[in-house]
């Protein structure tokens, strides 16, 4: 994908972050899961979006987007990716690019599972990040953990200030 496409998807993730209900004790984050299936030359398809606190239970953007994707049926996946090939969620996740406005969390003060663990478990292909998580609440090692798990991490340049401003809305 060209840099312009990465910026486009990150801007869409910023629109997701704007949907967050601000709170002084958590960041406002937006996320998109984009797949090119059955191979990297296929057109990108947005599988799911997510934002912080969208679903019940003090949820985070990446976990919410993954939760939505995991509910897709084979028929829904087939409609998104018309192909004579057999399709399943595991195969599609291997081609997923995560676009997130803030580095996926590696520690949750709430005790819930970190987003980085969910992304690693899902075996996504790459993670495009708008800005690193500031140390307002915890010391985040999300990008390092993704790389250690073999997931490519790409820092998108050009929207760092917007991503940080969105994250800290309500602080």
Extract the tokens encoding 105: 């969390």
Rounded distance between C-alpha atoms, residue 30 and residue 74, angstroms: 26
Active site residues: 62
Cβ neighbours of residue 36 closer than 8 Å, sequence gap 6 or more = 42, 43, 44, 45, 95, 97
Which residues are paired to 95 by β-bridges?
A: none
């Amino acid at each position: 994908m060209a840099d312009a496409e990465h910026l486009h998807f990150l801007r869409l993730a910023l629109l997701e972050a704007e949907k967050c209900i601000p709170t002084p004790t958590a960041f406002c984050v937006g996320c998109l899961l984009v797949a090119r299936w059955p191979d990297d030359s296929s057109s990108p398809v947005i599988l799911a979006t997510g934002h912080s606190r969208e679903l019940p239970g003090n949820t985070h953007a990446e976990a919410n987007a993954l939760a939505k994707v995991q509910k897709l049926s084979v028929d829904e996946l087939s409609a998104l990716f018309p192909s004579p090939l057999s399709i399943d969620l595991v195969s599609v996740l291997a081609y997923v690019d995560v676009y997130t406005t803030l580095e996926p969390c590696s520690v949750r003060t709430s005790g819930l599972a970190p987003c980085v663990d969910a992304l690693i478990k899902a075996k996504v292909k790459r993670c495009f990040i708008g800005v690193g998580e500031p140390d307002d609440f915890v010391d985040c090692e999300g990008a390092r953990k993704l790389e250690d798990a073999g997931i490519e991490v790409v820092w998108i340049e050009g929207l760092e200030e917007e991503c940080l401003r969105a994250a800290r809305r309500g602080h």
